[in-house]
Structure 1
Amino acid sequence: MSAVLGSLIAVLGTLLGSFSTYLFQQRTAVRAEAVAREERLRQERLAAYSEFAAAVTELKRAVVAVWLQQSDPAELNHVLSEADRLGALAETARFRLRLVSGQPEPLADAAFAHMDALRGAVDQAELKLREAEFEAAVSAFITAAAGHLVVSRRAAP
């Protein structure tokens, strides 16, 4: 009888050990999946922030080219077309940023809004001033974006 009891205890111990191992592995897998999901989202955000900053900077370059070519009608149509194309790309990048971040991005909107100020510059000195303001707005956006990315990384389980 004691042999049967010993065997029964051994079988129960093995089953208990197997079940607890299963539970620990399950928890580890769920945790690893959550970390991977959070990292994918962080990478998406990083790509969206970078894409927007690049697109709005290219748009600024095109808007300045339009401003500089105002006196050359032959070249003006070409640079206007390029500015329009880049404006659409920047707007698309801004929409993607909003979708990925899941919240309004007022600093991105502020950087984008500087295009009107650039277009309206009355002389080269004002154009330089507006460019500096634009660069400060983009810098503020990037600083805030970096902060969002660091916070999301720390928040991962």
Structure 2
Amino acid sequence: MEAVLTSAVAIVGTLLGVGFSYLVQHRMTTRNERFSRWRFLQEERMAAYSAYAASLAQCRRSELDRWHRAQENPGSAEATDARLESYRLRGVARQELFRIRLVAQAPDLVRLAEEALHQVSAIHEAHDEQACHRSGHDARRAVEDFAHAAGQQITS
């Protein structure tokens, strides 16, 4: 009888040990999966935010070039090329904006991203050199505001 009791205690102990090990491993696996998803999302955000900021910088430069070419020689091949390049780069920036909308947590960040693109896209509409300079400065500030808010989201 004592052998049966000892065997029963051993079996119960083994089952409790296996059950406890399972729970601990399940928790660790779940925690590791959550962390991996969080890290992947953070990396995706970093890539999307930096690509968008870079595309805005290129688009801004292109819009300034477009304005200057149109002022120097309206209707010239250079002005047409600059206009077409600004369209192309604005399209790239819009593509990157869609990525921002997909990965951004905060609606305020998406609003800043949209505002930055709006500011950049408006540069070529300036009526004189001073307005162009001011518009370019406003666009740079809008891009910097977006980049700052994106950095805050990544580090929080």
Normalization by structure 1: what TM-score?
0.88
How many pairs align? 151
Deviations 1:92-127 (A, max 9, x none): 111111122265411111111113441122332332
Which of 110, 113, 119 is equivalent to 1:108?
A: 113
Structure-2 residue corresponding to 1:65: 65
**Structure 2 residue matching 1:137: 3-state secondary structure:** helix
Aligned residue runs from structure 1 range 68-87, under 5 A: 68-70=68-70, 71-72=72-73, 73-87=76-90
Question: Shift of the alpha carbon at 1:63?
Answer: 0.6
Question: Shift of the alpha carbon at 1:143?
Answer: 1.0
Quickly say closer, same or farther: Cα 1:102–1:146, change in 2 above 3 A. closer
Structure-2 residue corresponding to 1:20: 20
Structure-1 residue corresponding to 2:45: 45
* Counterpart contact for 2:48–2:100, Cα < 8 Å: yes
Percent of residue pairs bearing the same amino acid type: 34
Give the Cα separation in 1 of the matches to 2:104 and 2:121. Answer: 25
- Relative contact order, CA 8 A, sep 6+: which one is greater? 1
Give the Cα separation in 2 of the matches to 1:45 and 1:64. Answer: 28
Question: Shift of the alpha carbon at 1:56?
Answer: 1.2
Aligned-pair RMSD on alpha carbons?
Answer: 1.5
Segments of structure 1 that go 5 or more residues without pairing to the other structure are 152-157
**Structure 2 residue matching 1:69: 3-state secondary structure:** helix
* Counterpart contact for 2:60–2:121, Cα < 8 Å: no
Deviations 1:34-90 (A, max 9, x none): 111111111111111111111111111111111111123121111111111101111
**Structure 1 residue matching 2:112: 3-state secondary structure:** helix
Give the Cα separation in 2 of the matches to 1:39 and 1:67. Answer: 42
Amino acid in the other structure paired with 1:12? V
Give the Cα separation in 1 of the matches to 2:97 and 2:57. Answer: 12
Quickly say closer, same or farther: Cα 1:94–1:23, change in 2 above 3 A. same
Structure-1 residue corresponding to 2:154: 149
Normalization by structure 2: what TM-score?
0.89
